[in-house]
Amino acid sequence: MRILAAALAVAATLTTTAAAWEPEQPPSSLSVKVRPGTSHGTGRLTPIAGADKLVAPIGVDPACPARIDIGLRSDAKKATYATMQVEIDPPLTASRSMLTSYLPPGYELGAKLLVAVPPDIKQGTYGLRLRTPAQTLKVPVEVVPVDGLDNGGNLALRRPVTASSQHTNANYPPCSVADGDRSSNGWAGGNGWNDATARAWPDTIAIGLGGARQVSRVDLYTLDTERYPASRHGLRDWDVQAQVGGQWQTVAQVRGNTAGTVRSDFAPVTADAVRIVALASNGANDYTRIIEVEAR
């Protein structure tokens, strides 16, 4: 019986811990990862990038800069101390000027690179260069106003975001729900909003649409990973609202959700902004956690 009691005490402790779950401290968006890769056998250090170009919008919240995966693969025959220089054309600035680590052959070194765009910059194509002693990889950076973005029909992309609260940890900025990245894998790295008021509801987050636009659909991406499934850490209940003629109207309601992505369709309205009124989250029912909100 004593063993059972001890087990129950442990279970109770775990439950308490879950209820008080705090967003884990981020590894920081500037952290560097070393992981096994595949050597191409060239005997050199090869710069790599997660995309063949970076689109960097002008005039967005500095808390949500443009970002791209960068890295370095060791195709060397032996373990080596690998270094890559990161150069960017001014007036753009990058979050690091160098990537460096000890690397066994066939291993990759990776990091997120954040690129800040000053508001008075000229539209155009700028250069980002990733240099190893053997090779330079050039990644064009297309600097465009938000109105010039290819938004795939998502009227909320890179528009201004206002939230009812902001977590003291700067890695959960409200603007991250309109940064174009729907993946929960960026959680705690600047890619999703976590509100600041545990177990207090409602929480709201609103996104301007850059003018009056016809809207008939809103997609919400809540936190949903293997470690933090939506059924435990995601948003459960919310209203979708549209700002029509200066007034907020509820256009859709979601209740009892356990999925990572929810699409709400409604009769078309002409709105300046859309808003999520969060009413409850799953499991611990503690915080609102939203990765992305899209409007069409």
Stretch that binds Ca ion, among 43-51, 130-138, 256-264, 286-294 (CB under 5 A): 286-294
Looking at beta carbons only, is 85 or 264 nearer to Ca ion? 264
Determine which residue in the list 292, 293, 294, 295 makes contact with Ca ion, applying CB under 5 A: 292
Count of alpha carbons within 13 Å of 81, Cβ hemisphere only? 0
Minimum gap (Å) between residue 115 Cβ and Ca ion: 16
Minimum gap (Å) between residue 180 Cβ and Ca ion: 7
Q: Can you tell me which residue has the tokens 């992981």?
A: 35
Q: Can you tell me which residue has the tokens 């509820």?
A: 250
Minimum gap (Å) between residue 274 Cβ and Ca ion: 15
Looking at beta carbons only, is 181 or 237 nearer to Ca ion? 181
Looking at beta carbons only, is 60 or 291 nearer to Ca ion? 291
Minimum gap (Å) between residue 291 Cβ and Ca ion: 5
Minimum gap (Å) between residue 226 Cβ and Ca ion: 18
Q: Can you tell me which residue has the tokens 């090869």?
A: 46
> Backbone dihedral region of 28: left (phi > 0), alpha (psi from -120 to 50 degrees) or beta?
left
Minimum gap (Å) between residue 84 Cβ and Ca ion: 27
**Which of positions 160-199 make contact with Ca ion (CB under 5 A)?**
176, 179, 181, 191
Count of alpha carbons within 13 Å of 111, Cβ hemisphere only? 24
Looking at beta carbons only, is 103 or 155 nearer to Ca ion? 155
Minimum gap (Å) between residue 188 Cβ and Ca ion: 12
* Number of residues forming the site for Ca ion (CB under 5 A): 6
Looking at beta carbons only, is 45 or 114 nearer to Ca ion? 114
**Which tokens in the block code for residue 57?**
């919008």
Binding site for Ca ion (CB under 5 A): 176, 179, 181, 191, 291-292
